[in-house]
């Protein structure tokens, strides 16, 4: 039996979907354990180029079952659109399942996400505006609506009625002095239109019904059977609700503890945790990012790496590899190994920098871990070690020894700093552009 969790070691968008797509060849079951359609995974395989938001990356292997665990929040119409897109590409998704315990993202969550961001004015979090935070708020406040409720139209209508009565009261609070939110009124009316939501969601329910299962029973049977299970993370440690750059975080736990809860399996069942780290750093959304390059070099990295959000299309903030953040992630998540992605994007760089510590310009103090205080973290400056670049195309390399010596030295340095073996190195988006270094 083997249960492997694939977890983001940075700020998200590390290439987890690509790594899961690669590992799913050997998996019987792939489970998404948290987040919602804020996530975006780009998967390039022999069937084409796909952008997945909710559906796990194992969907392309017909013999692999794919589950949205109870820890995921699901926007039913968005999920139906994703299923329709895959159906158009020839995938019937008979191998796709949804845990009945997962919570729903409702239109008013999307609206609240936007209203809350507006209210933050200059201190916006830069959320994906997909309603993820407010959906988790309702879950924790014990008033969320779940997939199991959606399957029972009368239950769903009753819960929707109660929820909307409350939401209308909340929304009234946003119309204060000056009435400057008036332009939002039509959108708010739509997001609180009970009949419209009931019709839209119950139509989606009929489409999703064949996929809805008792997720825990499915996972338990797979464990008893000794099946190979992959737990697919979304986002990364630095956006974890407890351990990330709070409040610039998502509302769930991308780290392996979240995988146990969200997938519905015992924590001790996880045999291996693979941390996915990009060979440099990217982030979308606000918050501290010490290695961010706001210059032509950062711009060039963005263009070479095609660093634009899969879900929102937003340009990603780009910077050098932050070994302090990854080491923090290693300590929290306990990676067995790291999969390093997009090494080829650095092919053109004359010299490459690694952030090995932070320096506080106010006190002169050096930091070798991530501070809890966001205002302290905002002002820390990176301390760089510089390595020579290789300026050679690595996209055709399939063995570690085929990489230029400088590229090998870079990977080895990252490995030493992370104190965890780097088992996989990707040098391009295609399935076979992967260097396997060790047992992984």
* Part of the chain binding ligand IMP (CB under 6 A), chosen from 36-44, 93-101, 190-198, 273-281: 36-44
Answer for which of 9, 12, 34, 218 binds ligand IMP (CB under 6 A) is 12
By the rule CB under 6 A, 235 interacts with ligand IMP: yes
Within 10 Å of residue 413's Cβ, how many Cβ atoms? 17
Residue 128 Cβ vs ligand IMP, minimum distance, rounded to whole Å: 3
Question: How far apart are CB 31 and ligand IMP at their closest, in Å?
Answer: 17
**238 binding ligand IMP? (CB under 6 A):** no
Distance from the Cα of residue 52 to its chain's centroid: 11
- State both tokens at 245: 């750059």
What is the enclosing helix (H) or strand (E) of 422? strand 422-426
- Residues that contact ligand IMP, how many (by CB under 6 A): 20
**Contact call for residue 285 and ligand IMP (CB under 6 A):** yes
Q: Does 39 engage in binding with ligand IMP (CB under 6 A)?
A: yes
User: Helix 194-208 to helix 76-88 angle, to the nearest 10 degrees?
Assistant: 40
Nearer to ligand IMP, 126 or 334 (CB): 126
> Could you tell me the smallest distance in angstroms from the CB atom of residue 332 to ligand IMP?
17
* 114 is a contact residue toward ligand IMP (CB under 6 A): no
Q: Report the residue from 45, 66, 99, 128 that binds ligand IMP according to the rule CB under 6 A.
A: 128
3-class DSSP assignment, residue 16: helix
Cα dihedral value 45, 49, 51, 57, nearest 10: -10
CB closer to ligand IMP, 250 vs 336:
250
Assess 342 for contact with ligand IMP (CB under 6 A).
Answer: no
Task: Choose among 326, 348, 358: nearest CA to 339.
Answer: 326
DSSP per-residue string spanning 362-391: TT--EESS--S-HHHHHH-EEEEEEEE---
- The answer to whether 284 contacts ligand IMP (rule: CB under 6 A) is yes
Cβ count near 391 (within 10 Å)? 13
Say if CB 422 and CB 340 are below 8 A apart.
Answer: yes
For the beta carbon of residue 428, count every other beta carbon within 10 angstroms: 19
72 is an interface residue for ligand IMP by CB under 6 A: no
Nearer to ligand IMP (CB atom), residue 95 or residue 250: 250
CB closer to ligand IMP, 241 vs 355: 241
Provide the minimum distance between the beta carbon of 88 and ligand IMP in the complex, in angstroms, as a whole number.
23
DSSP structure string for 300-352 = HHHHHTT-B-TTT-PBPEEE-EEHHHHHHHHHHH--SEEEEE-GGGGTT-SEE
Give dist(CA 93, CA 84) in Å, integer.
Answer: 10
Q: In what order do the strands lie in the sheet with 434-436?
A: 212-213, 96-99, 65-68, 29-32, 228-236, 2-8, 272-278, 337-341, 422-426, 434-436
- Of 130, 138, 52, 128, the closest CA to residue 96 belongs to 52
Under the criterion CB under 6 A, does residue 281 sit at the interface with ligand IMP? no
Q: Site mask, ligand IMP, residues 300-339, x = CB under 6 A?
A: -----------x----------------------------
State which residue has the least CB distance to ligand IMP: 285
Identify the residue among 38, 45, 291, 426 touching ligand IMP (CB under 6 A): 38
DSSP strand pairing (73-74 vs 103-104) = parallel
Nearer to ligand IMP, 264 or 285 (CB): 285
- Among 21, 41, 113, 149, the active-site one is 41
Does the footprint of ligand IMP cover residue 37 (CB under 6 A)?
Answer: no
Catalytic (active site) residue 13: yes
Q: Which residues bind ligand IMP (CB under 6 A)?
A: 12-13, 38-40, 125-128, 130, 132-133, 235, 239, 248, 250-251, 284-285, 311
Q: Which residues are known catalytic residues? A: 13, 41
């Amino acid at each position: 039996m083997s249960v492997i969790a694939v977890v983001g070691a940075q700020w998200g968008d590390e290439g987890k979907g690509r790594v899961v797509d690669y590992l799913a060849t050997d998996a019987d079951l792939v489970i998404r354990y948290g987040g919602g359609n804020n996530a975006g995974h780009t998967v390039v395989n022999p069937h084409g180029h796909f952008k997945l938001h909710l559906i796990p990356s194992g969907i392309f292997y017909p013999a692999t079952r794919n589950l949205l665990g109870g820890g995921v929040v699901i926007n039913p119409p968005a999920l139906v659109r994703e299923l329709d897109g895959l159906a158009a590409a020839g995938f019937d998704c008979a191998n796709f399942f949804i845990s009945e315990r997962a919570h729903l993202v409702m239109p008013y969550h999307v609206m609240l996400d936007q209203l809350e961001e507006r209210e933050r004015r200059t201190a916006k979090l830069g959320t994906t505006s997909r309603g993820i935070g407010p959906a988790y708020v309702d879950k924790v406040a014990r008033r969320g609506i779940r997939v199991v409720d959606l399957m029972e139209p009368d239950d769903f209508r009753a819960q929707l009625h109660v929820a909307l009565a409350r939401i209308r009261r909340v929304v009234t609070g946003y119309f204060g002095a000056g009435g400057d939110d008036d332009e939002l009124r039509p959108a708010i009316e739509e997001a609180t239109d009970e009949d419209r939501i009931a019709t839209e969601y119950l139509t989606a329910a009929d489409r999703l019904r064949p996929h809805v299962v008792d997720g825990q029973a499915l996972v338990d049977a797979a464990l008893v059977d000794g099946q190979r299970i992959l737990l697919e993370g979304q986002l990364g440690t630095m956006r974890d609700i407890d351990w990330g750059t709070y409040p610039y975080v998502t509302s769930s736990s991308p780290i392996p503890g979240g995988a146990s809860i969200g997938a519905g399996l015992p924590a001790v069942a996880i045999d291996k945790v693979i941390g996915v780290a990009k060979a440099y750093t990217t982030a979308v959304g606000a918050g501290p990012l010490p290695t961010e390059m706001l210059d032509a070099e950062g711009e060039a990295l963005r263009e070479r790496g095609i660093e634009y959000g899969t879900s929102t299309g937003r340009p990603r903030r780009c910077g050098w590899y932050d070994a302090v953040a990854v080491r923090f992630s290693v300590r929290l998540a306990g990676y067995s190994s790291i999969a390093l992605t997009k090494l080829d994007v650095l092919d053109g760089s004359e010299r490459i920098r690694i952030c090995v510590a932070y320096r506080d310009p106010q006190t002169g103090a050096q930091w070798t871990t991530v501070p809890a205080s966001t205002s302290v973290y905002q002002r820390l400056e990176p301390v760089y070690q510089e390595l020579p670049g290789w300026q050679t195309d690595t996209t055709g390399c399939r063995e570690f020894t085929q990489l230029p010596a400088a590229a090998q030295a870079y990977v080895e340095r990252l490995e030493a700093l992370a104190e965890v073996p780097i088992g996989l190195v990707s040098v391009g988006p295609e399935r076979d552009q992967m260097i396997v270094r060790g047992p992984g």
